[in-house]
Structure 1
Protein backbone atom coordinates (compact mmCIF):
# COMPACT_ATOMS: atom_id res chain seq x y z
CA UNK A 1 0.00 0.00 0.00
CA UNK A 2 1.16 3.52 -0.78
CA UNK A 3 0.75 6.34 1.75
CA UNK A 4 -1.11 9.22 0.11
CA UNK A 5 -2.16 12.46 1.80
CA UNK A 6 -5.61 13.23 0.40
CA UNK A 7 -7.17 16.60 1.10
CA UNK A 8 -10.80 16.84 2.11
CA UNK A 9 -11.20 13.48 3.84
CA UNK A 10 -13.26 13.59 7.02
CA UNK A 11 -12.61 10.85 9.57
CA UNK A 12 -15.48 9.89 11.89
CA UNK A 13 -15.08 7.57 14.87
CA UNK A 14 -18.24 5.70 15.93
CA UNK A 15 -18.92 3.41 18.86
CA UNK A 16 -20.79 0.31 17.74
CA UNK A 17 -23.49 -1.51 19.72
CA UNK A 18 -20.97 -4.09 20.96
CA UNK A 19 -18.82 -1.30 22.42
CA UNK A 20 -16.05 -1.43 19.83
CA UNK A 21 -14.90 1.63 17.88
CA UNK A 22 -14.95 1.90 14.10
CA UNK A 23 -13.57 4.51 11.71
CA UNK A 24 -15.56 5.81 8.77
CA UNK A 25 -14.20 8.13 6.10
CA UNK A 26 -16.18 10.72 4.11
CA UNK A 27 -15.36 13.11 1.30
CA UNK A 28 -15.91 16.56 2.79
CA UNK A 29 -17.00 18.33 -0.38
CA UNK A 30 -19.65 15.84 -1.45
CA UNK A 31 -20.43 14.05 1.82
CA UNK A 32 -19.96 10.69 0.08
CA UNK A 33 -18.72 7.79 2.22
CA UNK A 34 -15.34 6.34 1.23
CA UNK A 35 -15.06 2.57 1.66
CA UNK A 36 -11.90 0.61 2.35
CA UNK A 37 -8.88 1.77 4.29
CA UNK A 38 -6.89 4.89 3.33
CA UNK A 39 -4.36 3.99 0.66
CA UNK A 40 -6.24 0.96 -0.67
CA UNK A 41 -7.35 0.76 -4.29
CA UNK A 42 -11.05 0.84 -3.29
CA UNK A 43 -10.52 3.93 -1.11
CA UNK A 44 -8.70 5.80 -3.89
CA UNK A 45 -11.36 4.84 -6.43
CA UNK A 46 -14.12 6.11 -4.11
CA UNK A 47 -12.15 9.31 -3.51
CA UNK A 48 -11.80 9.95 -7.25
CA UNK A 49 -15.52 9.33 -7.77
CA UNK A 50 -16.36 11.75 -4.96
CA UNK A 51 -14.05 14.39 -6.47
CA UNK A 52 -16.00 14.19 -9.74
CA UNK A 53 -19.34 14.73 -8.00
CA UNK A 54 -20.41 18.37 -7.74
CA UNK A 55 -20.23 19.70 -4.18
CA UNK A 56 -23.52 19.36 -2.33
CA UNK A 57 -23.73 23.09 -1.74
CA UNK A 58 -22.84 24.32 -5.24
CA UNK A 59 -25.03 27.25 -6.24
CA UNK A 60 -26.05 28.05 -2.67
CA UNK A 61 -25.07 30.63 -0.09
CA UNK A 62 -23.46 27.77 1.86
CA UNK A 63 -21.20 27.14 -1.12
CA UNK A 64 -20.18 30.81 -1.14
CA UNK A 65 -19.37 30.53 2.59
CA UNK A 66 -17.16 27.49 2.02
CA UNK A 67 -15.40 29.18 -0.88
CA UNK A 68 -14.72 32.23 1.27
CA UNK A 69 -13.31 30.07 4.09
CA UNK A 70 -10.90 28.46 1.61
CA UNK A 71 -9.76 31.83 0.22
CA UNK A 72 -6.37 33.41 0.94
CA UNK A 73 -8.21 36.44 2.33
CA UNK A 74 -9.76 34.28 5.07
CA UNK A 75 -6.73 32.06 5.69
CA UNK A 76 -4.47 35.09 6.20
CA UNK A 77 -6.58 36.35 9.11
CA UNK A 78 -5.35 35.68 12.66
CA UNK A 79 -6.38 32.34 14.18
CA UNK A 80 -8.71 33.92 16.76
CA UNK A 81 -10.49 35.86 14.01
CA UNK A 82 -10.89 32.75 11.87
CA UNK A 83 -12.36 30.86 14.82
CA UNK A 84 -14.88 33.64 15.49
CA UNK A 85 -15.80 33.89 11.80
CA UNK A 86 -16.30 30.11 11.61
CA UNK A 87 -18.51 30.19 14.69
CA UNK A 88 -20.71 32.86 13.16
CA UNK A 89 -20.67 31.27 9.71
CA UNK A 90 -21.94 28.05 11.29
CA UNK A 91 -25.00 29.93 12.60
CA UNK A 92 -25.46 31.69 9.27
CA UNK A 93 -25.17 28.45 7.31
CA UNK A 94 -27.93 26.79 9.29
CA UNK A 95 -30.22 29.72 8.46
CA UNK A 96 -29.15 30.66 4.90
CA UNK A 97 -26.92 27.82 3.69
CA UNK A 98 -29.50 26.28 1.38
CA UNK A 99 -30.59 29.61 -0.13
CA UNK A 100 -29.88 29.59 -3.88
CA UNK A 101 -27.36 32.14 -5.11
CA UNK A 102 -29.85 33.37 -7.72
CA UNK A 103 -32.11 34.57 -4.87
CA UNK A 104 -29.46 37.15 -3.94
CA UNK A 105 -30.34 39.11 -7.09
CA UNK A 106 -33.84 39.80 -5.79
CA UNK A 107 -34.31 43.20 -4.11
CA UNK A 108 -36.54 41.52 -1.51
CA UNK A 109 -33.79 39.24 -0.17
CA UNK A 110 -32.46 42.01 2.09
CA UNK A 111 -35.69 41.69 4.07
CA UNK A 112 -34.81 38.08 4.99
CA UNK A 113 -31.40 39.17 6.27
CA UNK A 114 -32.82 42.12 8.22
CA UNK A 115 -35.51 39.89 9.78
CA UNK A 116 -32.71 37.55 10.92
CA UNK A 117 -30.71 40.50 12.27
CA UNK A 118 -33.72 41.77 14.24
CA UNK A 119 -34.48 38.28 15.58
CA UNK A 120 -30.91 37.85 16.91
CA UNK A 121 -30.66 41.53 17.82
CA UNK A 122 -33.45 41.41 20.40
CA UNK A 123 -31.06 39.82 22.89
CA UNK A 124 -27.64 40.43 21.28
CA UNK A 125 -27.58 43.42 18.89
CA UNK A 126 -23.79 43.45 18.54
CA UNK A 127 -23.73 39.74 17.69
CA UNK A 128 -26.47 40.28 15.09
CA UNK A 129 -24.47 43.07 13.46
CA UNK A 130 -21.29 40.99 13.48
CA UNK A 131 -23.05 38.08 11.77
CA UNK A 132 -24.33 40.27 8.95
CA UNK A 133 -20.92 41.95 8.65
CA UNK A 134 -19.27 38.56 8.11
CA UNK A 135 -21.98 37.52 5.66
CA UNK A 136 -21.43 40.79 3.82
CA UNK A 137 -17.70 39.96 3.63
CA UNK A 138 -18.62 36.59 2.08
CA UNK A 139 -20.83 38.33 -0.47
CA UNK A 140 -18.13 40.92 -1.24
CA UNK A 141 -15.66 38.11 -1.91
CA UNK A 142 -18.20 36.31 -4.13
CA UNK A 143 -18.84 39.58 -5.98
CA UNK A 144 -15.11 40.04 -6.68
CA UNK A 145 -14.93 36.44 -7.95
CA UNK A 146 -17.94 37.01 -10.23
CA UNK A 147 -20.20 34.51 -8.45
CA UNK A 148 -22.93 37.08 -7.73
CA UNK A 149 -23.95 40.35 -9.39
CA UNK A 150 -24.32 42.46 -6.23
CA UNK A 151 -23.82 42.36 -2.47
CA UNK A 152 -27.31 42.62 -0.95
CA UNK A 153 -25.85 43.53 2.46
CA UNK A 154 -23.68 46.41 1.33
CA UNK A 155 -24.32 49.33 3.67
CA UNK A 156 -26.87 47.58 5.90
CA UNK A 157 -28.00 49.50 8.98
CA UNK A 158 -26.56 48.32 12.28
CA UNK A 159 -28.55 47.77 15.47
CA UNK A 160 -25.71 48.21 17.94
CA UNK A 161 -24.38 51.66 18.79
CA UNK A 162 -20.90 51.43 20.29
CA UNK A 163 -20.72 55.06 21.48
CA UNK A 164 -19.10 55.04 24.91
CA UNK A 165 -18.14 58.71 25.03
CA UNK A 166 -20.35 59.22 28.11
CA UNK A 167 -18.16 56.75 30.04
CA UNK A 168 -14.99 58.78 29.55
Structure 2
Protein backbone atom coordinates (compact mmCIF):
# COMPACT_ATOMS: atom_id res chain seq x y z
CA UNK A 1 0.00 0.00 0.00
CA UNK A 2 1.04 3.62 -0.49
CA UNK A 3 1.44 4.48 3.17
CA UNK A 4 3.66 1.45 3.78
CA UNK A 5 5.89 2.47 0.88
CA UNK A 6 6.24 5.97 2.31
CA UNK A 7 7.17 4.54 5.67
CA UNK A 8 9.70 2.26 4.00
CA UNK A 9 11.26 5.22 2.16
CA UNK A 10 11.33 7.22 5.40
CA UNK A 11 12.84 4.25 7.23
CA UNK A 12 15.49 3.86 4.53
CA UNK A 13 16.37 7.55 4.77
CA UNK A 14 16.56 7.35 8.54
CA UNK A 15 18.65 4.16 8.39
CA UNK A 16 21.02 5.74 5.87
CA UNK A 17 21.47 8.77 8.13
CA UNK A 18 22.16 6.62 11.20
CA UNK A 19 24.44 4.21 9.37
CA UNK A 20 26.64 7.06 8.11
CA UNK A 21 27.70 7.60 11.73
CA UNK A 22 28.16 3.95 12.75
CA UNK A 23 31.71 2.89 13.54
CA UNK A 24 33.60 0.75 11.04
CA UNK A 25 35.17 -2.55 12.14
CA UNK A 26 38.59 -0.84 12.20
CA UNK A 27 37.27 1.99 14.41
CA UNK A 28 35.65 -0.50 16.76
CA UNK A 29 38.83 -2.55 16.85
CA UNK A 30 40.87 0.52 17.79
CA UNK A 31 38.46 1.31 20.62
CA UNK A 32 38.76 -2.29 21.83
CA UNK A 33 42.53 -2.41 21.73
CA UNK A 34 44.01 -4.13 24.77
CA UNK A 35 47.26 -3.27 26.48
CA UNK A 36 48.88 -6.26 24.77
CA UNK A 37 48.52 -7.83 21.30
CA UNK A 38 46.05 -10.71 20.84
CA UNK A 39 48.92 -13.05 19.94
CA UNK A 40 50.06 -12.93 23.57
CA UNK A 41 46.78 -14.22 25.04
CA UNK A 42 48.09 -17.80 25.59
CA UNK A 43 51.20 -16.51 27.39
CA UNK A 44 49.17 -14.09 29.51
CA UNK A 45 46.77 -16.86 30.51
CA UNK A 46 49.67 -19.13 31.45
CA UNK A 47 51.34 -16.40 33.52
CA UNK A 48 48.03 -15.63 35.20
CA UNK A 49 48.01 -19.15 36.67
CA UNK A 50 51.54 -18.90 38.08
CA UNK A 51 52.11 -15.24 38.97
CA UNK A 52 50.68 -14.16 42.36
CA UNK A 53 50.63 -10.49 41.33
CA UNK A 54 48.62 -11.23 38.21
CA UNK A 55 46.37 -13.59 40.18
CA UNK A 56 45.56 -10.74 42.56
CA UNK A 57 44.51 -8.67 39.54
CA UNK A 58 42.86 -11.52 37.64
CA UNK A 59 39.66 -9.58 36.92
CA UNK A 60 41.58 -6.75 35.25
CA UNK A 61 43.82 -9.17 33.36
CA UNK A 62 40.81 -11.16 32.11
CA UNK A 63 39.13 -7.93 31.00
CA UNK A 64 42.25 -7.11 28.96
CA UNK A 65 42.22 -10.65 27.52
CA UNK A 66 38.59 -10.14 26.47
CA UNK A 67 39.52 -6.81 24.86
CA UNK A 68 42.39 -8.47 22.99
CA UNK A 69 40.06 -11.22 21.72
CA UNK A 70 37.44 -8.67 20.64
CA UNK A 71 40.16 -6.64 18.92
CA UNK A 72 41.30 -9.71 16.97
CA UNK A 73 37.71 -10.57 15.97
CA UNK A 74 36.96 -7.02 14.84
CA UNK A 75 40.16 -6.82 12.79
CA UNK A 76 38.96 -9.88 10.81
CA UNK A 77 35.37 -8.64 10.37
CA UNK A 78 34.69 -7.56 6.77
CA UNK A 79 33.18 -4.08 6.55
CA UNK A 80 30.37 -5.36 4.29
CA UNK A 81 29.35 -7.96 6.90
CA UNK A 82 29.26 -5.34 9.63
CA UNK A 83 27.28 -2.97 7.42
CA UNK A 84 24.67 -5.69 6.77
CA UNK A 85 24.51 -6.55 10.46
CA UNK A 86 24.20 -2.88 11.45
CA UNK A 87 21.44 -2.27 8.89
CA UNK A 88 19.50 -5.32 10.11
CA UNK A 89 19.87 -4.37 13.79
CA UNK A 90 18.90 -0.73 13.24
CA UNK A 91 16.03 -1.73 10.96
CA UNK A 92 14.67 -4.04 13.68
CA UNK A 93 15.01 -1.29 16.27
CA UNK A 94 13.35 1.27 14.01
CA UNK A 95 10.41 -1.07 13.36
CA UNK A 96 9.97 -1.67 17.09
CA UNK A 97 10.19 2.06 17.78
CA UNK A 98 7.65 2.83 15.07
CA UNK A 99 5.29 0.24 16.62
CA UNK A 100 5.77 1.76 20.07
CA UNK A 101 4.96 5.25 18.82
CA UNK A 102 1.84 3.91 17.09
CA UNK A 103 0.72 2.26 20.37
CA UNK A 104 1.38 5.50 22.28
CA UNK A 105 -0.68 7.51 19.78
CA UNK A 106 -3.51 4.98 19.88
CA UNK A 107 -3.56 5.08 23.69
CA UNK A 108 -3.51 8.89 23.68
CA UNK A 109 -6.30 9.02 21.08
CA UNK A 110 -8.39 6.58 23.12
CA UNK A 111 -7.92 8.83 26.15
CA UNK A 112 -8.93 11.86 24.05
CA UNK A 113 -5.47 13.44 24.25
CA UNK A 114 -3.18 14.80 21.56
CA UNK A 115 -0.43 12.15 21.50
CA UNK A 116 1.98 14.24 19.47
CA UNK A 117 1.73 17.29 21.74
CA UNK A 118 2.18 15.17 24.87
CA UNK A 119 5.12 13.31 23.37
CA UNK A 120 6.83 16.55 22.32
CA UNK A 121 6.27 18.10 25.76
CA UNK A 122 7.74 15.01 27.45
CA UNK A 123 10.78 15.02 25.14
CA UNK A 124 11.38 18.74 25.62
CA UNK A 125 11.34 18.42 29.42
CA UNK A 126 13.52 15.29 29.42
CA UNK A 127 16.06 15.74 26.64
CA UNK A 128 18.58 18.57 26.73
CA UNK A 129 18.27 20.96 23.82
CA UNK A 130 21.98 21.73 23.88
CA UNK A 131 24.73 19.24 24.69
CA UNK A 132 28.26 20.46 25.28
CA UNK A 133 30.58 18.45 23.05
CA UNK A 134 34.25 17.97 23.87
CA UNK A 135 35.43 19.51 20.62
CA UNK A 136 33.33 22.65 21.23
CA UNK A 137 34.70 22.97 24.75
CA UNK A 138 38.24 22.48 23.42
CA UNK A 139 37.74 25.19 20.79
CA UNK A 140 36.54 27.57 23.51
CA UNK A 141 39.50 26.64 25.74
CA UNK A 142 41.99 27.18 22.90
CA UNK A 143 40.57 30.63 22.19
CA UNK A 144 40.40 31.52 25.90
CA UNK A 145 44.08 30.66 26.27
CA UNK A 146 44.67 33.38 23.66
CA UNK A 147 42.54 35.81 25.71
CA UNK A 148 39.57 35.47 23.33
CA UNK A 149 36.58 34.60 25.51
CA UNK A 150 33.94 35.05 22.80
CA UNK A 151 33.43 31.31 22.30
CA UNK A 152 33.32 30.68 26.07
CA UNK A 153 30.64 33.35 26.41
CA UNK A 154 28.71 31.97 23.44
CA UNK A 155 28.77 28.43 24.83
CA UNK A 156 27.82 29.66 28.29
CA UNK A 157 24.85 31.58 26.89
CA UNK A 158 23.70 28.54 24.90
CA UNK A 159 23.95 26.27 27.92
CA UNK A 160 22.24 28.72 30.27
CA UNK A 161 19.32 29.38 27.90
CA UNK A 162 19.14 26.55 25.37
CA UNK A 163 15.95 27.80 23.65
Q: Could you state the TM-score of these two structures normalised by the residue count of structure 1? A: 0.24
Q: Could you state the TM-score of these two structures normalised by the residue count of structure 2? A: 0.25
When Rg is computed on C-alpha atoms for both structures, the one with the higher figure is 2
